[in-house]
Amino acid sequence: MSSNRILAGLFLFCSALPAQVAQCDRTEMDALHAAVRASQSAGDNAWMLVSAALVLMMTGPGLALFYCGLVRKKSVLGTMMQSFGMMAVITLIWAVCGYSLVFAHGNPFIGDLRYLFLNGVGADPNPLYAPTIPHQTFMIYQLMFAIITPALIAGAFAERMRFPAMLTFSTLWAFLVYFPVAHMVWGDGGLLNASLGGRWPVFDFAGGTVVHITSGFSALVTALYLGKRVGYPEEKIVPHNLVLSFVGACLLWVGWFGFNAGSALAASPLATSAFVATHFAAAAGAVAWMAAERIRNGRASALGAISGAVAGLATVTQGAGFVQPFSAVLIGFIAGAVCYVMVSMVKSRLGYDDSLDVFGVHGVGGFMGCLLTGVFATRVVNSALKLADGQPAPLGWIDGNPVQLLNQLIGAAIGIAIGVVGTLVALKVTALLTPLRMEKTEEASGMDLVLHGEEGYNFEA
């Protein structure tokens, strides 16, 4: 009797063993999946924090050095302060309401205030934008774009706008231009958002329309509104320290990897593709500009080389996550050649004083990049957009979707229109609040002493 009970117990134990093993396997698999997700989130978060730091580096020291070396030595500190001022002022505006106006769900033109004072922006991801990183990481990364965009415009009015006016204008410009355009292109429910069902889906991977078109065309309006520097163009105004500009341009090139590859919002193959496209376009832009200078002037200059690299970078930004490597090379070559013509020939013929060629490089480059993205974007690189059957959707003209070129043109036109109108309004309101431009005698003394009471270089000391 006891032996029968033992046998029965062994039978029941053996019968239950597969279920226990299966339960153990399920537990182990769940734990493994959780570990993989945690590891992916940690890796993505690390890359995005590094990318945020790289994009901030583009403004200071990158843009600050690039711009300050191109002005006269009496305005070197004043020029750097413009970039630094944006790092401080735009950060606070972004924390209060800027982030919400761009990325909260609102209407097709602007977000609502659900994230006011960063309410609800914490450690949990926002699956709508970046499902593997904290919402706060996404927020701080996007802030760096909002900082550098108005800082770019400052190159157009270098050496002649007062610092309080610059801060006031840039604040108004952020509300009138940057926040609406960024929401339309990247925000939930935005009019031009390609991934979230916008009316006219525009491919803008890292800010060709949001950053370069808006800042470039706003720069042209600002330069025309303020007028020329005293003595321009009769007096030859040359950069005071190209070494500083050279270092700044190299920092911009390196920082641009965070700008473009970081816009993949994950440490992913798409980030690698955008990284490669960015580097190739910068190199091609530099070579094209140097070649054009060599043909026209008989020599290639250092200023031309770094300008060509920046032109290539600005032009490929829109399509960095959509185009293949040699499409990026072609984009860079086109950017270097066309932007060289704009800066060296067209500007002098039209007679406007865009001091540091913001329009010629960022405005024209951004516009070309927007259209060229509509030509070269391909699902081979970016398969995020899907057809009804779940297959990757064709993206650009070479992919069998020529209509996208029209969408890109509409997006560029909207960005230009908002940039032009918003800039004019911001300038006129600023002029009512504080004097815009330095007096002629003040301009002769330079921004450093007049506006800040300091000198960038004190050789006697």
Any domain includes 53: no
Would you list the DSSP string of 52-76?
HHHHHHIIIIIIHHHHHTTS-GGGH
Could you tell me the pLDDT band of residue 196, with boundaries at 50, 70 and 90? confident
With beta carbons less than 8 A apart as the criterion, state whether 51 and 261 touch: yes
Any domain includes 260: yes
The CATH number covering residue 399 comes to 1.10.3430.10
Please give the pLDDT value at position 3. 55
Any domain includes 134: yes
Any domain includes 120: yes
Mean pLDDT for all residues in the chain: 93
Residues 42-50 have a mean pLDDT of: 96
Any domain includes 168: yes
Please give the pLDDT value at position 16. 53
| Total domains in the fold of the chain | 1
Residues 227-246 have a mean pLDDT of: 94
Q: Cα–Cα distance between 189 and 173 in angstroms, integer?
A: 22
Residues 54-82 have a mean pLDDT of: 97
Q: Cα–Cα distance between 187 and 150 in angstroms, integer?
A: 19
Could you tell me the pLDDT band of residue 319, with boundaries at 50, 70 and 90? very high
Any domain includes 6: no
Any domain includes 45: no
Q: Is the pLDDT of residue 76 over 60?
A: yes
Say how far residue 79 (Cα) sits from the centre of its chain: 21
Could you tell me the pLDDT band of residue 434, with boundaries at 50, 70 and 90? very high
Please give the pLDDT value at position 416. 98
Q: Which domain holds residue 427?
A: 62-452
With beta carbons less than 8 A apart as the criterion, state whether 200 and 407 touch: yes
Any domain includes 28: no
Please give the pLDDT value at position 18. 57
For residue 274, give every residue at least 6 positions away whose Cβ sits within 8 Å of its Cβ, in sequence order, or none: 205, 206, 260, 261, 263, 264, 320, 321
Token pair 């951004």: residue? 366
What 234-237 contacts at long range (C-beta under 8 Å, 24+ apart), as own/partner pairs, is 237/72
With beta carbons less than 8 A apart as the criterion, state whether 229 and 440 touch: no
Give the predicted TM-score (pTM) of the model: 0.92
Residue 174 to residues 261, 320, 323: CA-CA distances in angstroms?
24, 24, 30
Nearest to 188 by CA among 107, 260, 269: 107
Q: Cα–Cα distance between 392 and 381 in angstroms, integer?
A: 11
DSSP letter (8 states) at residue 320: T
